[in-house]
Amino acid sequence: MTATTFTPRVFSGIQPTNHLQLGNYLGAVKRFVEMQNNGIETVYCIVDLHAITTWQDPADLRHATRELAAGYIASGLDPERSILFNQSQVPGHAQLAWIFNCVARVGWMNRMTQFKDKAGKNAENASLGLYAYPSLMAADILLYKATQVPVGEDQKQHLELTRDIAAKFNHDFKVDFFPMTEPVIEGTATRVMSLRDGSKKMSKSDPSDASRINLTDDADTIAQKFRKARTDAEPLPGTIDGLKDRPEARNLINIYAALAEQPPEAVVAEFAGKGFGAFKPALADLAVARLSPIADEMARLMADPAEIDRILGNGAERANAIAQPILNDIYDIVGMIRSRPV
């Protein structure tokens, strides 16, 4: 049998919870835009069904969904060239997730580190949805037979599970239906670390606001957060090797490199021998120059929520046009009768 070739298609998603932070921007959104600009078909989702695996106030969820849409667009995502939508408007995501709940094994879910981290000590009291989260994520990707998924480092395990689900489905039903999706974890910012603790990733949900740069922070706040960022007392080294045991310094260099679109080697060469007293203000200026146009554009877009909703609705229509025929094939493969008049 010759292997099926799958049309290249990119899919990725972000949860509409809290504000977008610099790690989301550099590790995900910025790269989504680069892939769009490379001419490949790109489908980008606001995963509101994933968001409710932990409690969300309904009004806050609506606001965060629109704000994330604004963040995507302000960062350069073009809703004509890419497909941009919120997950719940395409019912196939939840439908395929159910089928995948019956393909994935309990043992696989028990190994997911994100569940362990998010459920914490009180796993008995976590929602069933939080446990099944990776199965919905596999459905997001495979509903479009996506071949590439740009994400940050923390999502690697979920993408391996997606491949396991695809392989088991293909095997159980003796088909070559789903592609083996490739994670795309590239660049200098696949794991942006907290500004307060170089061993923790920067996160929307960290209780300390000083630990992260939010895309909505103003110039003064950005400068102040970098000024207060934890570092050691040494001057910057002349080579990347010199950053090995200096996680905080390495993180700031990587952030600079990603924002400047330069290799970290070039940044180290530029600042070799200088102290943080010189480097931090340069980093803050660069971050403000890159991020403040995005914040301004987000604010402009947020002034017209009806327009954002219209964009999401159109995107959902286009996403559904790809998804529905694939879902029909899946139902046929699984043995579901589809005889409802259309």
Active site residues: 118, 201, 204
Q: Does 24 bind ligand AMP (CB under 6 A)?
A: yes
| Assigned token pair, 328 | 């029909």
Q: Does 155 bind ligand TRP (CB under 6 A)?
A: yes
Q: Which stretch binds ligand TRP (CB under 6 A): 135-143, 172-180, 310-318, 333-341?
A: 135-143
Query: How many angstroms separate the first and last alpha carbons of the chain?
Result: 36
Q: Does 14 bind ligand AMP (CB under 6 A)?
A: yes
* Pick 9 or 327: Cβ nearer ligand AMP: 9
Looking only at residues 275 through 304 of this chain, which bind ligand TRP when binding is defined by CB under 6 A? none
CA distance 38 to 273: 38
Q: Which stretch binds ligand TRP (CB under 6 A): 13-21, 166-174, 216-224, 302-310?
A: 13-21
SS3 readout for 218-244:
CHHHHHHHHHHCCCCCCCCCCCHHHHC
113: exposed, middle or buried (Cβ count in 10 Å: 0-12, 13-18, 19+): exposed
Which of 84, 103, 137, 223 is close enough to bind ligand TRP by CB under 6 A?
A: 137
CA distance 223 to 252: 13
The 26-65 site mask, x for binding ligand TRP (CB under 6 A), equals ---------------------x--x---------------
Phi then psi dihedrals of residue 10, to 5 deg: -100, 135
- Which residues does residue 83 pair with via DSSP β-bridges, in sequence order? 43
Least CB distance to ligand TRP at residue 89 (A):
15
Sign, Cα dihedral of 142, 147, 149, 153: positive
CA distance 141 to 132: 15
Q: Does 77 bind ligand AMP (CB under 6 A)?
A: no
- Please check whether residue 105 is in contact with residue 86, taking contact to mean a CB–CB distance below 8 angstroms: no
Least CB distance to ligand TRP at residue 151 (A):
5
Least CB distance to ligand TRP at residue 39 (A):
20
Q: Does 135 bind ligand AMP (CB under 6 A)?
A: no
Which of 103, 132, 151, 323 is close enough to bind ligand TRP by CB under 6 A?
A: 151
Q: Does 190 bind ligand TRP (CB under 6 A)?
A: no
Phi then psi dihedrals of residue 40, to 5 deg: -80, 155
Which residue bears the tokens 């990603």? 258
- Please check whether residue 130 is in contact with residue 53, taking contact to mean a CB–CB distance below 8 angstroms: yes
Q: Does 141 bind ligand TRP (CB under 6 A)?
A: yes
Looking only at residues 161 through 190 of this chain, which bind ligand AMP when binding is defined by CB under 6 A? 189-190
* Pick 17 or 231: Cβ nearer ligand AMP: 17
Name which of ligand AMP, ligand TRP, none residue 27 binds, using a CB cut-off of 5 to 8 Å depending on partner kind.
Answer: ligand AMP
Q: Does 63 bind ligand AMP (CB under 6 A)?
A: no
For the CA atoms of 316, 317, 321, 327, the dihedral, rounded to the nearest 10 degrees, stands at: 50
Instruction: Tell me the CA distances in angstroms from 114 to 110, 156, 158, 205, one per residue in order.
Output: 10, 11, 9, 13
Q: Does 151 bind ligand AMP (CB under 6 A)?
A: yes
Q: Which stretch binds ligand AMP (CB under 6 A): 65-73, 148-156, 216-224, 253-261?
A: 148-156
* Pick 101 or 203: Cβ nearer ligand AMP: 203
> What is the three-class DSSP state of 182?
strand
The residues binding ligand TRP (CB under 6 A) are: 11-15, 47, 50, 137, 140-141, 149, 151, 155, 158
The footprint of ligand AMP (CB under 6 A) covers 14-15, 23-24, 27-28, 151-152, 154-155, 189-192, 201-204
